[in-house]
Amino acid sequence: MHFVHAEAAHLPLMLLLVFGTAKIAAELFERIGQPGLVGEILAGVLLGPSVLNWVQPDAILSALAELGVMFLLFRVGLEIKGSELFKVGKTAMLVAIAGVLLPFAAGAALSVAFGQNRIEAIFVGAAAVATSVGITAQVLAVKGLLDERASQVILAAAVIDDILGLLVLAVVSGMAESHIDIPGLLTTAAIAVAFTFLVARFGTSTVRRWYPTIERRLAARESQFHFALICVFALSLLAVYVGVAAIVGSFLAGMAFSEASDRRMQDLAHGATELLVPFFLVGIGLQFNLASFRETSTIIFSAALTLIAILTKLIGCGLPALVYGRRDAVRVGIGMVPRGEVGMIVAQIGLGLGVVGAPVYAAVVCMALLTTLVTPPLLNYAFRDCKPQVAKEEFGLV
């Protein structure tokens, strides 16, 4: 009889539990008319420390989750033309700025009202700032609504939001460590903006011009997809080095190939996304731990912070989008609501620096989870009158 080593069985067991549970939960939610990704996030809550405690967040899951959201944004980028985003650029800029300032101020003020110190309050404000675009992008992609004007505003604003959010995090982290490098921050901001603008503006034309020549020289099967993946990873790496998130680079790579990709590339990108995105969604749920909510004050603060987080994005991001009408303004506001893993990362940094206590960390994680869970149903309702521009079956989105 052969004995299976527990260490050797860990990876396939974890993959089975996470992927299997996520897809079963997604199926159940789809059957009751709810977005499947909500079920996948709740699968993480079920598997994590709050309920069964079968799976713990680790380096492998984190890597799979990061790959999942990178491929998700690449796939979304493949369906977006840069020229379309630039048409809504001014509005998207206003949406992003208002969607950073209002949540930051309201989150910090709420923390002060609950008796937290200045640095802790600033970290709470920072955690309320950045939108987790992966959640909204997944909903819009599955519903075939990426061509809608509100969707274009959301995606463009989310890219700008990412740059602003990382700058806010750099400032508050510097305050916690008693030093702020103003010249360094300004340099990082300038490089990040220049990188994003140049790739978004010239990426598509560059690929369209040079890719046919490169493709003719490649002999391997699926060479088009291989070359695209190299560009995805290269731009993701560059994005990190210039001071923005890797997923921004993935999204920009997708946009660059949007007019050069064929059906085969769409199918391969979709297959990779279907494999990896559940790890991203389950990873969000795994961060939640009910044991942290023993104190009534933590529950009340969590509820208030979640409400503030939703309202400030709805108002702050919705008002600048009123130029496109009330319906689109509501859609944009809702699309910018989820904080997801972004808010959790801010809280983890504060916890690691010793400036954020366990109750505040628990409240931020709760806010990030709840804003992520409420967004898909709200988006379904807000976009209920929109007809998909492209049939879901065409891109294998069902």
**Which domains does the chain possess?**
63-275+295-395 (1.20.1530.20)
Pair of tokens at residue 327:
């319906």
Task: Reply yes or no on whether the pLDDT at 1 is more than 50.
Answer: no
Task: Reply yes or no on whether the pLDDT at 105 is more than 90.
Answer: yes
Task: Reply yes or no on whether the pLDDT at 4 is more than 70.
Answer: no
Average pLDDT, the chain: 88
Task: Measure the CA–CA gap between 343 and 368, rounded to whole angstroms.
Answer: 6
Pair of tokens at residue 125:
């404000």
Q: Reduced to 3 states, what is the DSSP secondary structure of residue 183?
A: helix
Determine the pLDDT at residue 383: 93
Cβ neighbours of residue 284 closer than 8 Å, sequence gap 6 or more:
41, 44, 340, 341, 344, 368, 369, 372
Determine the pLDDT at residue 178: 67
Give percent above pLDDT 70 in the chain.
95
Give percent above pLDDT 90 in the chain.
48
Determine the pLDDT at residue 5: 66
Task: Measure the CA–CA gap between 172 and 127, rounded to whole angstroms.
Answer: 10
**Mean pLDDT within 310-320:** 96
Query: Quick one: CA dihedral 364, 366, 367, 369, positive or negative?
Result: positive
Determine the pLDDT at residue 275: 95
The DSSP code sequence of 257-274 is TTTT--HHHHHHHHHHHH
Pair of tokens at residue 40:
């996948």
Determine the pLDDT at residue 187: 85
Determine the pLDDT at residue 398: 36
Task: Measure the CA–CA gap between 33 and 56, rounded to whole angstroms.
Answer: 30
Q: How many CB atoms lie within 10 A of CB 280?
A: 31
Contact 356, 347 (CB under 8 A): yes
Q: How many CB atoms lie within 10 A of CB 56?
A: 11
Contact 172, 222 (CB under 8 A): no
Cβ neighbours of residue 271 closer than 8 Å, sequence gap 6 or more:
none
- Please, is 354 exposed, middle or buried when counting C-beta atoms within 10 Å of its C-beta (0-12, 13-18, 19+)? exposed
- Please, is 368 exposed, middle or buried when counting C-beta atoms within 10 Å of its C-beta (0-12, 13-18, 19+)? buried
Task: Reply yes or no on whether the pLDDT at 390 is more than 60.
Answer: no
Determine the pLDDT at residue 392: 42
Q: Kindly list the distances between the CA atom of residue 6 and the CA atoms of 12, 20, 185, 264, in Å, as whole numbers in the listed order.
A: 11, 20, 47, 39
Determine the pLDDT at residue 155: 92
Pair of tokens at residue 73:
């944004």
Contact 167, 181 (CB under 8 A): no
Task: Measure the CA–CA gap between 155 and 76, rounded to whole angstroms.
Answer: 9
Contact 257, 272 (CB under 8 A): no
Of 96-105, 113-122, 227-236, 353-362, the least confident: 353-362
Determine the pLDDT at residue 2: 54
Task: Reply yes or no on whether the pLDDT at 97 is more than 50.
Answer: yes
Q: Reduced to 3 states, what is the DSSP secondary structure of residue 336?
A: coil
Q: How far is CA 293 from the centre of its chain?
A: 26
Task: Reply yes or no on whether the pLDDT at 326 is more than 50.
Answer: yes
Of 64-73, 77-86, 309-318, 371-380, the least confident: 77-86
Determine the pLDDT at residue 181: 72
Task: Reply yes or no on whether the pLDDT at 393 is more than 70.
Answer: no
Q: How many CB atoms lie within 10 A of CB 68?
A: 23
Cβ neighbours of residue 39 closer than 8 Å, sequence gap 6 or more:
22, 25, 26, 27, 28, 29, 30
pLDDT band at 396 (very low <50, low <70, confident <90, very high): very low
